[in-house]
Amino acid sequence: MHQVKLLFILIVSLCFVVDANSQNLPPEITVTGEQIYCYEAPIPIVTSATITDPDVTDNTLDEIYIQISEGYSLGNDTLTLGVVNPNITASWSITEALLTLTGPATFAEFETAIENVFFETTQTAFTSDRSFSINLGNANFLPSTGHYYFYVADLGITWAQARDAAAAQTYFGLQGYLATLTSQEEAQLAGEQSAGTGWIGASDQEVEGTWKWVTGPEAGIVFYIGAVNGSAPNGEFSFWNCGEPNNFGGNEDYAHITDQSVACPGRIGSWNDLPINSGESDPNNPYYPKGYIVEFGGFPGEPEINLSASSAVIMPRVEAEEQQFCGNEVELTVSANTSNVLWYESPSSATVIHSGFNYTTTLSGTTTFWLEAEENGCGSITRSPLTVFVNDNPSVNDITITQCDDEVIDGITTFVLSDSDDAIINGNSINFQVQYFIDDTLNLEIVTPAYTNQFNNQLIYVRVTNTTTGCSSVSEVTLFVKITSANSAVLNACDSLNEDGFTVFNLMDSNDQLLNGLATDVQVGGYYESYNDAILDVNAIAPNYTNDLPYNQTVYARLEQNLGCYA
């Protein structure tokens, strides 16, 4: 099942005065339709539309507004009326993405007109679906909040006057208030809708730098603390213009929509702080107040009105990001907002090599597939590339580590496992991590530098990971304890003139005694002061050695065969 998340914003630039006493029940509209776009022909934005009114004698409307409220591609998308009715004329605003149907006409005539409004586009690479708002009233409706909005033009109005004027208005039983913009969707609507510096219901007049909403259902909620470099507490939304709020002059305590001429790039609809009367007297100044935003909805106990309806056209597209795999066997997964995906070897190939959201195949190296979202034989215009990177798993060896038994001849001894890293990874230790484990599920990692085996010929496991690609391989390591008797040697030397029992020995003079009768590939690997040092091959002593115990001392020689301990 493919879930499509829709967000609808209706943005209509209108200036008017709302009748504070208007309590008549409004007409209602419902529509159906969520269709997949096919580039071969224009597509209706709904499959059905129904307009009703509680007053059965009221069956006409003056205007209906239909807007591409999300995903609009300026210069590519259009809405057209595909039916001729002498009572209805259609006008298209390319900047607002708004189709206005003007009557007066009956409900039935408008229903037929809505069902014959067609969407088409010249865009070829789709990045988002198209959402449509169909509005019977002259207020903007935002489905994400369920509220209605007006921009009221009123040159020179102060913030306090705007607050009071908004509170004096109602819209079919919904109480008006100076707008509280608590989401990006609301900020976008207000910013694109407002013709200039429109006041909104925010202030830090009570405590400087503590901005809160002071109107509407959100009154009392703190949404921003600080100045230019402040922050929004508890995840609250704020949308200040760059360099704002700055409390310029020390008395800027009220928020308004920034004029587009002074908004920073990408900040259309952002906010600025101003004095209660803006501080400007020149109507041409961008900070001169030109009106305010009034919002309706959100108070408890208010009536539910359905002046607006929403629909969508699904633009077929594939969500395919680069994927990394270790080894040649790959299991690819993509998503789409259609019921199927077609796979091709090139952007222009006519041969479909696979269909579906999952594809298991064998690749010899990095490969790019070209994907097309498809629904009932109609697909996307432009294919989307999916690049699959195939990385080699590290090359590892299964080895046996041979170690001599300790002083207790029982097949249990100590191994320094990291000494065998090079043998496992062929000496290539750059960008590789080597980990040793007791179990084949790789859960019990050996983390100590020196490991004592549990029994002779114990099998342990090594995971070698390429730290660049994340690819890994596992090898098996056998821990073999060699129980071999070795020759002993005795070195004698004359005392020094001091006759203190200390002198210099050349330990290499013992080699003939140590190796007597052994295979020719057995060699002396080093000399050590302790048995354990000899086993671990650490703290070797120099062949020219001065004993540190007078007259008699035992030292140890490590005999090696094939780079492992022999005895």
pLDDT the model gives residue 189 = 74
Looking at residue 170, its pLDDT comes to: 93
Does residue 350 belong to any structural domain of this protein? yes
How much is the pLDDT for 77? 95
Between 267 and 475, residue with greater pLDDT = 475
CA 547 to mean position of chain CA atoms: 67
* 132 and 160 both lie in a single domain: no
Asked whether residue 6 carries a pLDDT value surpassing 70, the answer given is no
Domain boundary among 365, 391, 417: 391
Could you give phi then psi for residue 204, rounded to 5 degrees?
-120, 30
Q: What per-residue confidence (pLDDT) applies to 3?
A: 37
3-state secondary structure of 396: coil
Stretch among 77-81, 107-111, 121-125 having the lowest mean pLDDT: 121-125
Residue 488 lies in a domain: no
Would the pLDDT of 497 be above 70? yes
* Residue 490, pLDDT score: 93
CATH number of residue 54's parent domain: 2.60.40
Predicted confidence at residue 138, as pLDDT, reads 77
Q: What mean pLDDT is reported for the chain?
A: 89
Share of the chain above pLDDT 70, in %: 94
Q: What is the mean pLDDT of residues 512-529?
A: 90
Judgement on whether residues 181 and 43 belong to the same structural domain of the protein: no
Same domain for 279 and 309, yes or no, is: no
Query: Are 255 and 121 in a shared domain?
Result: no
Residues 54 and 161 in one domain: no
* Beta strands 308-314; 130-135: pairing state: antiparallel
* Residue 549 located in a structural domain: yes
Instruction: Say yes or no to pLDDT of 111 above 60.
Output: yes
Mean pLDDT across 399-405: 89
User: Does residue 200 sit in the same domain as residue 221?
Assistant: yes
pLDDT of residue 562: 81
Cα 370 to chain centroid distance, Å, stands at 23
Half-sphere exposure of 202 (CA within 13 A, CB side): 29
Q: Running DSSP on this structure, what letter comes out for residue 95?
A: T
pLDDT value of residue 196: 58
Secondary structure (3-state) at 319: strand
Check pLDDT > 80 for residue 96: no
* Stretch among 41-45, 181-185, 265-269 having the lowest mean pLDDT: 265-269
Nearest alpha-carbon partner for 447 in 460, 431, 430: 460
- Average pLDDT on 269-282 reads 89
Q: Which residues constitute the domain of residue 406?
A: 399-482
Q: How large is the average pLDDT for residues 113-128?
A: 93
Range of lowest pLDDT (12-16, 87-91, 135-139, 197-201): 12-16
pLDDT digits (tens, 9 = 90+) for 416-441: 999 899 999 988 778 899 999 999 99
pLDDT at 10 over 80: no
Q: What's the average model confidence in pLDDT over 368-392?
A: 90
Q: Which amino acid is at 226?
A: G
Give the chain's domain count.
Answer: 5
Last residue of a domain, one of 482, 516, 541: 482
Q: Which of 23-27, 154-158, 250-254, 391-395 has the lowest mean pLDDT?
A: 23-27
Domain match, 216 and 238 both: yes
Query: pLDDT for 22-76, tens place per residue?
Result: 445 789 999 999 899 988 789 999 999 999 998 888 899 999 999 888 888 888 9
Proportion of the chain above pLDDT 90, given as a percent:
63
**Tokens for 50?**
């129904």
Determine the average pLDDT of the residues in 127-153.
86
**Range with the poorest average pLDDT among 106-110, 254-258, 305-309, 543-547:** 305-309
Instruction: Say if residue 279's pLDDT is above 50.
Output: yes
Q: Is residue 99 part of a domain?
A: yes
The pairing of strands 384-391 and 323-326 is parallel
Any domain includes 490 = no
Residue 515 tokens read as 């190796």
pLDDT of res. 50 = 97
Cα 188 to Cα 176: distance, rounded to the nearest angstrom: 20
**CA–CA separation, 296 vs 310, rounded Å?**
19
User: Is 487 among the domain residues?
Assistant: no
Q: What pLDDT is stored for residue 462 in this prediction?
A: 96
Which residues, including other chains, have CB under 8 Å from residue 288's CB and lie 6 or more apart?
A: 155, 156, 196, 197, 278, 280, 281, 282
Give the closest residue to 198 by CA, choosing from 135, 141, 259: 259
Query: What confidence score (pLDDT) does residue 62 get?
Result: 93
255-274 average pLDDT score: 90
Does the pLDDT at position 192 exceed 70?
no
Residues 325-354: pLDDT tens digits?
A: 999 999 999 999 999 999 999 999 999 999
Residue 133 is predicted with a pLDDT of 87
Q: Of 391, 415, 446, which closes a domain? A: 391
Does residue 447 surpass a pLDDT of 70?
Answer: yes
Rg of the chain on CA atoms, in Å: 41
Instruction: Indicate if 428 and 532 belong to the same structural domain.
Output: no
* Residue 274 sits in the same domain as residue 158: yes
Say whether both 462 and 328 belong to one domain. no
Q: Is residue 104 part of a domain?
A: yes
- Whether 496 maps to a domain, the answer reads no
Q: Judge if 52 and 11 occupy the same domain.
A: yes
Tokens of 344: 């091709």
Residues 272, 256 within the same domain? yes
Q: What is the pLDDT of residue 16?
A: 37
Q: What is the pLDDT of residue 71?
A: 84
Instruction: Quote the pLDDT of residue 403.
Output: 87
Q: Taking a C-beta distance cutoff of 8 angstroms, is the pair 361, 336 a contact?
A: no
